Chains A and B, each alone.
Chain A
Amino acid sequence: MNDYVSPVGQGIPRLETRDKITGRAVYADDMSRPDMLVGVIVPSPHAHARITGYDVSAALALDGVAAVVTGVDIGDHKIGPFVKDETALAVGKVRYMGEPVAAVAAVDLETARQAARLIDISYEELPAVFDTDAATAADAPALHEGFADYIKVFEADSDRNAMAIIEIVEGDVDAAWERCAAIVEGSYETQAQCHTYMEPCSALAEIDSNGKITIWSSNQSVFHVQSFVADSLGLPMSKLRCVTPQVGGAFGGKMEQTVQPAAAALARATGRPVKVTLSREQDFEMIRSRHPGKVWMKTGAAADGTLLAREVRIVLDAGAYADDSPGVAGIAALFCRGPYRIENVSIESRPVYTNKLRSGAFRGFGGPQVAIAGETQIDEIADRLGMDPIDLRLKNVVLPGEEWMIGVALNKAGLSECLERVRAACGWDAKRKAVSNGSGRKRGIGLACIPHISGVLTSGAIVRILEDGTAVLNTGAVDNGQGSDTVLVQICAAALGLEVDQVSVATPDTDGSPYNWGTTASRVTYMAGRAVVAAAEDAVAQLKQRAAVMMECAEEDLELRDGGRIGIKGVPEAEIGFRDISGFSHWVAGGPVIGTNSLAYDGPDFDPKRGYLKGFPFGKIGAWIFAAQAVEVEVDEATGRIVPLKVWSAHDIGKAINPTAVEGQIQGGIVQGLGYALCEEMVWDSGRLANPSLMDYKIPGIMDVPPEIDTMLVEDPDEHGPFGAKGVGEPPIVGIAPAISNAVAHATGTRLRRLPMTPERVLRALRG
């Protein structure tokens, strides 16, 4: 029995893979219920308009149509994670083209679509603003006249359409500039990136005779779904049960509401099950994107390379509704200093309303918009000072044991090792010396390093020992495909000394799962993982308590043994299996063993004495994670095309619970980063999204990806993380664009400050 190998650290296949590759896995749109209707959403044709009337009679008269719902029917119930400023179907006004205005349920999709076209809504158009400059101009129309009265979950100043002004000040930048030997300054622009999860948003809602609605949907948190559907329809949360089948990718795009409120409203109106699945085009136009950003930044360093000061002004285009914008703007403000000790910073970040699609959470969450500025300025400083960019970084990166970021104590930080590993693996020193001569195809290599967090908000876990001694784990954490179900089961099994196949994982279900804030912020492995370890320990304590009764000994004399046994310390033969203990507890005494845990992120906090933080919309955040990424590129000076040849990416992850899954997640993030850097851009023609299809909005295909992506895992166990693990979800995407920009500068001497770095933009820059 001593051949037990802990599942932690094993690259086992994800638990649900077999179902996924045989076509058996069920995603929301694969579901159907008896008597089910199909719902279609009617989008706004205007970017900014007052709704002056509805005529739904023709739609309702169509054979096969069961119901039409509009903002009038659902009422003015506002939702929003930071600012309650939108309704699930427009009420009074529309603020972007594509905004849901009405929804119709019919016997099939064709009928529902036909009915949607028959819904006649009259509008009075209003002046609209399509970028942050126009939205902040003195004569700009206010998108939200009632903004001052909206419910907000944080306190910040606001100004016209700037919904929040977030400020971070430490030290004295003005005094610091004088001590700088090199100062660089520049403006940077980044684009709207579409999440482009492969599974379009989908929800199926069904109502029972007590008025309780069950919603199966593609999402990142069943608890979020429960809360925003309740808010949007004015229902108590107890009247909603939210469940998550398999999710076909999310990346932040499914963190807040998608089509769940419309499906629920239609189910309520018809009394029948209703499924709403967006077409790809509507998904592009209706859901959310990454914030376009405009960043002005100035960085200064002493002659020896010590970074002394950074000043930053960030403006994010939030689109028509706040959604996660205050959070994203806050994180951008926090991360724009990069992973460095910089004693003097002055940062301001403003999310601004415009009449476009709402911007929201997207992998990186404000990091990518500022990393392109920050990490290319580090290279420019290195250049000015005649230093190697990695040497300059090594001199300034935060080290374990230091305090940084407004006085937060950092216990672990593996960034120096990440940098050294990438430097060695990519042959940095030799490649940086090689200078491309002449014209034609030029090679260059560039690097970036970035900070992120994996600890925030709350999670829970329940570990129940079944009658036969196996276990079921329930966390409510949604696996978006990144593999959290598998990782959490590995953690649970290891903590119980069981095999992976002896632990079952429960589907996230608000009726039965403990709370998990969401699969977001790179937090599930760290936060839910910690809850799982603690719940498993609670279960083990209960098993020992029952075993002590059975074995007539003291609990303190007992130990957990691998393979699902409790034994008396120092007496190898005195032991009892989980099955016997569980049988005893179920049928004789003690009661079923149910281990539980519930936690909120509890790491070190900002120190108000060390800096000024205003309008920041989060409480405690932390469990810092770091990454260093290098990209080698070839730049074709004739066409302007940048070809990424190879990527190296080192990640400070504490401990890889499942190295294969971590690697895969990093590779996928890198490729999304390549898309962000080189080709992905949502383009609006005034209010109309000009490229709402996979044909016109290009994500990287297999031919666009370099044949080799070298991932390196730096494992220095975190003292609080489950088995030492921290998160990894977001960092892989963040450093790619600045690393490429730095590589292009190395190859050509030309700096690119605007994303994506398309051939046209590269050519324009090369030609000066």
Chain B
Amino acid sequence: MSEAIPISLTVNGRTHRLFVQPWHTLLQVLREQISLTGSKRGCNQGVCGACSVMIDGAVMRGCLTLAADAAGREIVTVEGLAVGGALSPVQQALLDHGAVQCGFCMPGMAVAATALLADNPSPSDAEIRDGLSGNLCRCSGYVKVVEAVRSASAGGAS
């Protein structure tokens, strides 16, 4: 085994000093080293989107990102979306619209939707679908997810 490397990882505004193996993914380190288990491992192959996190504002796959590569950047996970205990508009909308069933996809979905609205505050339905096209959900059929994101957008009824 090669030497663990020291990194500092800034997650949801908090900086953690850690030793990681060079091949450790960000998802693995979040879940196993700093107990942030909100980001889910649905496939570990970059397909399902359950591990989505924001790195410097862009949605990235936690399972495809090496922890060492995320060092020194601003990482936001699902645990960082609610500020001061209040749900973010996206989270509130997912709740209100009953979009969440088993919830396993939802951390990734909520992160992707948050990034989408940060980029494009008033997306069309087609843009919402496009923005969430990297996130698989097996329970909801996506209908209520789109409704929720639409209502959380600047143009949506709030």
Contact = CB atoms under 8 A, between A and B. Distances in A.
Contact of B104 (A14, A27, A663): A27
A276 to B, nearest CB: 14
Interface string B34-78: 001111111111011010000000000000000000000000011
A197 B50 CA distance: 12
Given A198-B48, A198-B102, A667-B144, A23 B79 contact: yes
Interface in A654-678: 660-661, 663-665, 667-672
A585 interface: no
Interface residues of A, number: 55
B95 A18 contact: yes
A633 B135 CA distance: 25
Contact of B141 (A24, A246, A705): A705
Given A280-B44, A664-B144, A705-B141, A246 B133 contact: no
29 contacts: A14-B101, A18-B95, A20-B103, A21-B95, A22-B78, A22-B81, A22-B82, A22-B91, A23-B36, A26-B37, A29-B41, A30-B31, A246-B102, A246-B103, A280-B44, A481-B103, A661-B98, A664-B98, A664-B101, A664-B140, A664-B144, A667-B142, A693-B45, A699-B136, A701-B135, A702-B129, A705-B142, A707-B146, A709-B143
Closest 8 CB pairs between A and B?
Answer: A23-B38, A481-B102, A20-B103, A248-B104, A667-B141, A671-B141, A30-B37, A660-B98
A668 B138 contact: yes
Interface in A1-29: 11, 13-14, 16-27, 29
B135 A702 contact: yes
Interface in B131-158: 132-133, 135-146
B39 A247 contact: no
Interface string B76-113: 01110110000100010011111111111111001000
B45 A694 contact: yes
A24 to B, nearest CB: 7
Contact of A705 (B41, B42, B78, B143): B143
Interface in A223-254: 246-249, 251
Interface string A699-715: 10111010101000000
Given A23-B77, A249-B139, A703-B130, A199 B43 contact: no
A701 B137 CA distance: 7
A13 B44 CA distance: 30
A667 B140 contact: yes
B105 to A, nearest CB: 5
A249 B143 CA distance: 17
Interface of A: 11, 13-14, 16-27, 29-30, 196-200, 246-249, 251, 277, 279-280, 480-483, 660-661, 663-665, 667-672, 693-695, 699, 701-703, 705, 707, 709
B138 A196 contact: yes
Contacts of A249: 101-102, 104, 138-139
Contacts of A20: 100, 103, 106
Nearest to B96: A13
A14 B101 CA distance: 8
B87 A18 contact: yes
A201 to B, nearest CB: 12
Nearest to A675: B138
Given A23-B77, A248-B40, A702 B132 contact: yes
Contacts of B82: 22
B125 interface: yes
A651 B135 CA distance: 28
Interface of B is mostly: loop
Nearest to B130: A703
Contacts of A702: 129, 132-133, 135, 137, 142, 145-146
A198 B132 contact: no
Contacts of B91: 21-22
Nearest to B99: A664
A694 B48 contact: yes
Contacts of A695: 45, 47
Given A249-B139, A664-B144, 13 more contacts: A14-B100, A27-B104, A197-B104, A198-B42, A198-B105, A198-B137, A280-B43, A481-B102, A660-B98, A663-B98, A694-B136, A707-B129, A709-B141
Contacts of A17: 94-95, 98, 100, 103
Contacts of B42: 198-200, 280, 694
A274 to B, nearest CB: 16
B102 A703 contact: no
Contacts of B139: 198, 249, 481-482, 664, 668
Contacts of A251: 138
A11 B147 CA distance: 15
Given A23-B77, A694-B43, A702-B145, A197 B133 contact: no
A53 B94 CA distance: 54
B84 to A, nearest CB: 12
Given A667-B141, A709-B143, A21 B94 contact: yes
Contacts of A199: 40, 42, 102, 104
Contacts of B138: 196-198, 249, 251, 668, 672, 699
A27 B44 CA distance: 17
A693 B48 CA distance: 10
Residue from B43, B77, B133 with most neighbouring chain A CB atoms (10 Å):
B43
A666 B120 CA distance: 30
Contacts of A197: 102, 104, 138
